[in-house]
Structure 1
Amino acid sequence: MRYLKHTSISLLMLTALSFSALAHQHPPKSTHKSNLAQTQAQWTKARNADELKRITQRATFLQLENLLKSAVKNNTVSDNAELYLKLIESLKDYPLKMDAMTAYFDARIKSVNQTTPPEEVNALKQEIEQAIAQNPTHFLRTRWEQSLFTLFQNANDLEGFVHYAQRVKPSSLEMQIAVLNAELQLEGTENTTDKKQDSNANTHIISRYEQLWLANSKLPNDTQLWAAWYAHGGRTAAKVYQKAETLFAKNDENGLAQLATELHRMTGENEDEKMAAQLQLLQTLTKTPASLAEFSARLSMTENNTALLKFAVLQSFPRYLRTLPENMKDPSFAPYAQWAKNWQLTDTEIREWEIAFLNRFFDNESPLFQQWRDTELLNLNADNLTERRLRMAIWQKTDLTPWLNALSDEGRQKQEWRYWLAKTIEKSDSPKTTEIWTALSHEQGFYPMLAAAKLDPQTRGKRYHFGQPQLLVAPSITDESWADEFQKVKPALEEIAELRQLDRLGAAKQRWRFLLENLPDDQKKEKQIALSQYANQQNWFDLGVDGSIIAKAFDHIQLRLPIAYSHYYDIALKPRRLTLSKRKPQASQNATSISKTFAMAISRQESAWNPQAQSSANARGLMQLLPSTAKATASHAKLPYTDEADLFKPLNNILLGTAYLAELNAKYPNNRILIASAYNAGAHRVEKWLARANGKLEMDEFVASIPFYETRGYVQNVLTYDFYYQRLQNKEDPQTFSNEEYDRLY
């Protein structure tokens, strides 16, 4: 369909150009028609030939990949090398020819072993080096360079391995260890009379190994290196403790266990009982943070303990607090102040403990704790806690002034708190409030939009222009002004296009980022913006958004919010009846009650238009649906759904996502704040937040006091994106907030 669309557009352009040129010649009418028809026929024939060639090459490319996989499995790669090279040669002008060559290199390298003739290994090495030399800036260059390490390793060419590593640094940890092993082995086999030189070489190898040992939990195939390092006195108590700190900070229990085994790796007996005991304590604290209470009560810095244990206490405290119930009776910091004294904590370290303690029990209802909390907050000058106290004051409808004054200068400049400062002084200093809201309304974001609504309550700020008087439209990289640059990046863009055609979206995105990040510094941002515009024109919406982020093109709203999959939303939001779950009251709901711009705003926030997006919770696709939600929604709305793979298909995902939004709209009619909150955090949490608000909060108060940081930002972004999309799609009567959102009490 993409090719047909491009063909139609190009044909229309050619037709227009043909008529324009012929209009100045005034030939007979029949000649006009004859020439135009002939030109169109020739153009169509050439276009069809190009399309047929591309389809044939694509099939060849895929067949070559399969042949190479089979040959590797059957160990017959070398037997048919000539065939594979001929197939690659047939891919001349195919965008992924270098990928085909890479697949060939990989297969050949896998077939190499110690018995492979040296001349065959050398010939393959030269082929790869030639590819590197001929394509010095290609995305695959690094992969080709690293593949030579594998070639040397498979051929057991230690000298080639080491010499190559002097020019190119191996990227993988496994290969870095392999290089060091090769160097060590060569040093052991060389006959040298210069013992000082030999010792210096070994010291250099051991020093590089030590850096890897310190930075990593476990190293592959390092037995000989570890023994040499140990023999040279490398494993000292200080270095063991240094590594232990790194592992403990990462909460790496397995790494600590591995480190403990090294204490008796040489003799089979513990060489340092104190060290072993301390490592065991660290493992216990990692596995069972609650043991910190007994640990801190029993030990202290005065008992000849190392700084390692103090570090462990400092790191363990927040983990320990998470083992305590948030609603415990009268939480007190006093016992932990004694721990801090025992372990000789500095004032700065004690402050960090207090902040962790307050974060854990912030909402505890104990009057004693609340009094202590508010006193400490004014002394700590920690904006994250002060902002949390501000949100509490907002939903409790108490005075915000002391907490606004407690913010740092940087904190006060945030849009949110400028808005609330203005609202706080609205009755006492109306001109100042108007001044603040007016300045804010000239910026981008939720609170600027809210400020515009406050300044114009009758229309709720529908004239808000999100900080710019007109939309900034970026020229595409295909624009005439970028002609030279386009020729430079065209091969990479064709590779990306073909990868996407093969549904290899992850590989395409890697190549896209490589392209944008490695552009020449001259006008780099402008080129990134022009490429992002091109991506949106190609319907590569996820890449267009990604490019706008890389370019930091904050003012280019039309790049950040492309009109993606528009026709799919039109289809999905066509009026239809929905039958809701039997557990809920039966209802007939028109899906068009969810606006297209709202659905698109949800999608943009959820996935940044990546149809292959997948979260850690297994939410999938454009609208980030959980498989369980998708299955239930499909049943309610009578929509097709086979399995989780359906969620990576844009139309399927949009059909199910908009149907789910319609269900939420039936629960919270025309209230995007509650719908978006429920979509992100679940309706059960929304009900809990509404019960807490108890019908006393205005819209801005409810949004500001949403307890979840993610959901609070999510709601603000979605409503802002919705308004932007209304403007981008030239909606006649754009609205910032609906009556149901703006006028109700929550």
Structure 2
Amino acid sequence: MKLKTILLVVISYFIITINANAENVSIDELRTRFNHWQTTYQSLTDGEQKKSLDSLKSYPLYPYAQYQYITAHLNTATTKEINEFVTQNNDFPLASTLMQSYLELLTKEQKWNEINALDIDDSIASKCRYQYAVLKLGKKSAALEPIKNIWLSPDDQPSACDAIFDEWGKAGQKTANIILLRIELVLKKNNIKLARHLTEQLPDSYKTLKKNLLALFANAKTLTEFAKNIAPSSFSKKIVNLSFARFANIDADKAKILIPTIVKQQKLSKNDENAMFRTIANNYFKDSATDKQLKWRKQFIAQDRNTTQIEREIRQALKTNNLDDVAYWLNLLSTEDKQKDEWQYWQAIVLLNKNNQKEANEIFNRLIKSRGFYAMYSAQKLKQPFNYDFNYTIIDGMTSAPNESKILDDKYKDDAVIKRIDELRFWNMLPEAIKEWRNYLYSNTSNKQYAELARYAYSKGWAEHSVQATIAGKLWDNWLERFPIIYQDFFKSSLEQKVIPLSYSLAISRQESALDATVQSPVGARGLMQLMPSTAKDSAKKIANLSYYSADQLYDPETNIQIGTYFLDYVYQLFGNNRILASAAYNAGPNRVNRWLKESNGQLDAVAFIESIPFTETRNYVKTVLVYDYIYDLMLNNQPDMILHNNEVNYKY
């Protein structure tokens, strides 16, 4: 027998033996095979790929290898293979991705029967391609029937839908009324560009409306012309209501004067008219507002009693340190709104200002029993400890579980998704692990025991997964799982020559990213401490021995922490080790904080300054970070006795 033949026999026997004993192969051996697959599969022949793939069938990450194989052979894949993969891996995030790729290929190749045989995913692109295939198979009515609901979206739709949308339009189903309905939807999202595009599609019989709409979208000042030229209808009234804020932003005084005329021309309701006046009142909160505008705003809001605007008035009164005005506006809130923690606290401060210590303390004592910034600071004011409990029930139906760790491990360790996550984390494939976990948490939610999953993740050291489980389950009192300590070595190393404490750095990270090192915000902030590439680039230049060359490095926790703690320490020291000001600066920028301090001119105490921050996001951010810092101090066994430090309480803002 020739040597080549002998080798083939030996290799074949080896492969058969592997397949026959796959269940008995050690995890280390399976990992070796997976690593070999990842590094070589693209250079292997089809036969070699199949053999290598078969050797991974008992490995948790087999679906990833299988996905890679099918994707590489998409041109020769069958609908049966795709359907089987999706069915067998219905809890696998990439199953829908594969389906969409396959549908795109079949559409290009015009294989309509194959598309019709697929069990498609729920994506809009897949639905559009599937319906187009149904149309091409001669089933016009069935193909076009669901398209109206797909097309009627406030958002731009994927290009995959263009073909079926065109056919739907040619069939006369995209009527003028449907176009008008979608214009309303997109205007609610202030998508002027799409509204303009849709208006262009109106038929010639709508020439006058078309002309006036396009003029309105080009210049909101033409709203009065629109109201005059277009006869009142359900559509015209909605357009006027949706466009008024844009008009008021250009010239609020003129818009206010013209409200009665617009209301009369379009036969608007009293509620519509009030909404317009509220828009004017919002514009009169600007720093540039005149005394006349301020007077009108206060009179209108006092009469209208809109909660959001009353709360803005309270904050304006706090900003000027006018407790009499605070009391006046608090009194105008509804009974329900008065129960909010912040307004309970300020009601207590008003009582203290009137030397009514007893009633004020009663409110503080009630607040202590809740959670959050005002609960913790009320405890500090009364010089009482804030109550917290780390001993809470995790396993459903058990008040205590001495073998909790074993019970949870036995319950979840053999779950296919959990096993995949375990292996993804072994390979440091964190983005994939996070995607798997989120998919797991938010699918079939009625069957989830979120407290158990959060504790299981916490016990495994999966901090970002632990946090996400508490968010999914709304487990706001489960502090252990909500505030795990993560990347402690990286933080300690980065903080060696810095002033900021570890608890504060962790609090900022927890608030910024929920400890997800892979996340990117809509504006481009990246990673654990959510750094903007421009800020990171600037800060990195000042850090010794740091090699920084790409914004993608911000997804690396160690690099992100090095740069993030540098910038946090910079703003912390810039504002005299004051976490209130440093947190506000980290979120909104140092220049804004300096401007707010200049406006308050040393008149405010710490809490009044926080509550008067004009940006809702920054205001809530500061309070949340202070709470998180307090909790992390507890986690680190520092036994904090106050949420605000003495230098922060005593500072004149």
The TM-score with structure 2 as length reference comes to 0.86
Distance 1:217 1:52, change over 3 A: closer
Does residue 93 of the first structure (1) align with residue 63 of the second (2)?
no
Does residue 206 of the first structure (1) align with residue 171 of the second (2)?
no
Structural RMSD (CA) = 3.1
Deviation of 1:293 (Å): 2.4
Tell me the alpha carbon deviations over residues 25-75 of structure 1, each in whole angstroms, 9 at most, x when there is no partner: xxxxxxxxxxxxxxxxxxxxxxxx95742442232231355448xxxxxxx
Q: Percent identity?
A: 28
Q: How does 1:528-567 map to 2 (within 5 A)?
A: 528-567=450-489
Taking the aligned partners of 1:347 and 1:532, their CA distance within structure 2 comes to: 50
Q: Give, as a single letter, the amino acid of the residue that structure 1 aligns with 2:339.
A: Q
Does residue 171 of the first structure (1) align with residue 122 of the second (2)?
yes
SS at match of 1:322: helix
How many residue pairs were aligned? 617
Does residue 357 of the first structure (1) align with residue 357 of the second (2)?
no
Deviation of 1:148 (Å): 6.4
Residue 82 of structure 1, aligned match among 47, 58, 79: 47
Deviation of 1:487 (Å): 4.3
Residue 545 of structure 1 contacts residue 559 of structure 1 at CA under 8 Å; is this kept in 2? yes
Taking the aligned partners of 1:221 and 1:652, their CA distance within structure 2 comes to: 39
1:283 is matched with which residue? 214
Residue 376 of structure 2 contacts residue 642 of structure 2 at CA under 8 Å; is this kept in 1? no
Does residue 126 of the first structure (1) align with residue 80 of the second (2)?
yes
Which of structures 1 and 2 has the bigger CA Rg? 1
Distance 1:443 1:144, change over 3 A: same
Range moving further from structure 2, 213-222 or 432-441: 213-222
Q: How does 1:632-651 map to 2 (within 5 A)?
A: 632-638=538-544, 640-643=546-549, 644-651=551-558
1:374 is matched with which residue? 298
Residue 437 of structure 1 contacts residue 455 of structure 1 at CA under 8 Å; is this kept in 2? yes
Residue 478 of structure 1 contacts residue 534 of structure 1 at CA under 8 Å; is this kept in 2? no
SS at match of 2:344: helix
Tell me the alpha carbon deviations over residues 433-489 of structure 1, each in whole angstroms, 9 at most, x when there is no partner: 111101111221101111111112xxxx5x223xx3445485799723235522442
Deviation of 1:350 (Å): 1.4
Gaps of 5+ in 2: 1-24, 396-400
Deviation of 1:279 (Å): 3.0
1:415 is matched with which residue? 341
Distance 1:299 1:609, change over 3 A: closer
Residue 218 of structure 1 contacts residue 258 of structure 1 at CA under 8 Å; is this kept in 2? no
Does residue 340 of the first structure (1) align with residue 279 of the second (2)?
no
Residue 371 of structure 2, aligned match among 439, 444, 460: 444
1:616 is matched with which residue? 522
Q: Give, as a single letter, the amino acid of the residue that structure 1 aligns with 2:279.
A: A
Taking the aligned partners of 1:395 and 1:447, their CA distance within structure 2 comes to: 18
Distance 1:91 1:154, change over 3 A: farther
Taking the aligned partners of 2:460 and 2:132, their CA distance within structure 1 comes to: 49
Distance 1:228 1:62, change over 3 A: closer
Deviation of 1:605 (Å): 1.1
Residue 500 of structure 1, aligned match among 420, 425, 430: 425
Distance 1:370 1:639, change over 3 A: farther
Distance 1:519 1:307, change over 3 A: closer
SS at match of 2:303: helix
1:482 is matched with which residue? 408
2:537 is matched with which residue? 631
Does residue 430 of the first structure (1) align with residue 351 of the second (2)?
no
Deviation of 1:670 (Å): 2.6
Residue 528 of structure 2 contacts residue 560 of structure 2 at CA under 8 Å; is this kept in 1? yes
Range moving further from structure 2, 358-367 or 347-356: 358-367
Q: Give, as a single letter, the amino acid of the residue that structure 2 aligns with 1:338.
A: T
Gaps of 5+ in 1: 1-48, 69-79, 113-120, 188-200, 264-270, 577-590
Taking the aligned partners of 1:131 and 1:217, their CA distance within structure 2 comes to: 30
Distance 1:621 1:256, change over 3 A: closer
Deviation of 1:233 (Å): 4.4
Does residue 606 of the first structure (1) align with residue 512 of the second (2)?
yes
1:581 is matched with which residue? none
2:36 is matched with which residue? 60
Q: Give, as a single letter, the amino acid of the residue that structure 2 aligns with 1:669.
A: G
Residue 152 of structure 1 contacts residue 161 of structure 1 at CA under 8 Å; is this kept in 2? yes
Residue 146 of structure 1 contacts residue 171 of structure 1 at CA under 8 Å; is this kept in 2? no
Residue 580 of structure 2 contacts residue 622 of structure 2 at CA under 8 Å; is this kept in 1? yes
Tell me the alpha carbon deviations over residues 557-613 of structure 1, each in whole angstroms, 9 at most, x when there is no partner: 111111111122221222x3xxxxxxxxxxxxxx1x311111111111111111122
Deviation of 1:369 (Å): 1.4
Deviation of 1:620 (Å): 2.2
Q: Give, as a single letter, the amino acid of the residue that structure 2 aligns with 1:372.
A: W
Deviation of 1:650 (Å): 1.7
Taking the aligned partners of 1:685 and 1:220, their CA distance within structure 2 comes to: 41
Residue 241 of structure 2, aligned match among 307, 310, 314: 314
Taking the aligned partners of 1:322 and 1:304, their CA distance within structure 2 comes to: 25
Deviation of 1:302 (Å): 7.3
Tell me the alpha carbon deviations over residues 218-274 of structure 1, each in whole angstroms, 9 at most, x when there is no partner: 6757788567655654343322322332344344455445545545xxxxxxx524x
2:22 is matched with which residue? none
Taking the aligned partners of 2:567 and 2:596, their CA distance within structure 1 comes to: 21
Taking the aligned partners of 1:377 and 1:67, their CA distance within structure 2 comes to: 71
Tell me the alpha carbon deviations over residues 183-204 of structure 1, each in whole angstroms, 9 at most, x when there is no partner: 33333xxxxxxxxxxxxx6444
Does residue 105 of the first structure (1) align with residue 52 of the second (2)?
no
Q: Give, as a single letter, the amino acid of the residue that structure 2 aligns with 1:742.
A: V
Q: Give, as a single letter, the amino acid of the residue that structure 1 aligns with 2:216.
A: L
Distance 1:740 1:432, change over 3 A: same
1:455 is matched with which residue? 382
Tell me the alpha carbon deviations over residues 131-150 of structure 1, each in whole angstroms, 9 at most, x when there is no partner: 45555555555556666645
Deviation of 1:281 (Å): 3.2
Residue 368 of structure 2 contacts residue 378 of structure 2 at CA under 8 Å; is this kept in 1? yes
2:398 is matched with which residue? none
Taking the aligned partners of 1:227 and 1:709, their CA distance within structure 2 comes to: 43
2:4 is matched with which residue? none
Q: How does 1:504-523 map to 2 (within 5 A)?
A: 504-518=429-443, 521=446
Range moving further from structure 2, 434-443 or 660-669: 660-669
Deviation of 1:348 (Å): 1.2
1:667 is matched with which residue? 574
Does residue 691 of the first structure (1) align with residue 618 of the second (2)?
no
Does residue 293 of the first structure (1) align with residue 183 of the second (2)?
no
Distance 1:433 1:256, change over 3 A: closer
Residue 158 of structure 1 contacts residue 186 of structure 1 at CA under 8 Å; is this kept in 2? yes
Taking the aligned partners of 2:506 and 2:90, their CA distance within structure 1 comes to: 41
Residue 541 of structure 1 contacts residue 564 of structure 1 at CA under 8 Å; is this kept in 2? yes
1:11 is matched with which residue? none
Residue 331 of structure 1 contacts residue 369 of structure 1 at CA under 8 Å; is this kept in 2? no
Q: Give, as a single letter, the amino acid of the residue that structure 2 aligns with 1:176.
A: K
Deviation of 1:414 (Å): 0.8
Q: Give, as a single letter, the amino acid of the residue that structure 2 aligns with 1:739.
A: N
Taking the aligned partners of 1:603 and 1:221, their CA distance within structure 2 comes to: 39
Distance 1:184 1:395, change over 3 A: closer
Residue 517 of structure 2 contacts residue 528 of structure 2 at CA under 8 Å; is this kept in 1? yes
Q: Give, as a single letter, the amino acid of the residue that structure 2 aligns with 1:514.
A: N
Residue 285 of structure 1 contacts residue 292 of structure 1 at CA under 8 Å; is this kept in 2? yes
Q: Give, as a single letter, the amino acid of the residue that structure 2 aligns with 1:384.
A: T
Taking the aligned partners of 1:409 and 1:451, their CA distance within structure 2 comes to: 21
Identify which of structures 1 and 2 has the higher relative contact order when contacts are C-alpha pairs closer than 8 Å and 6+ apart: 2
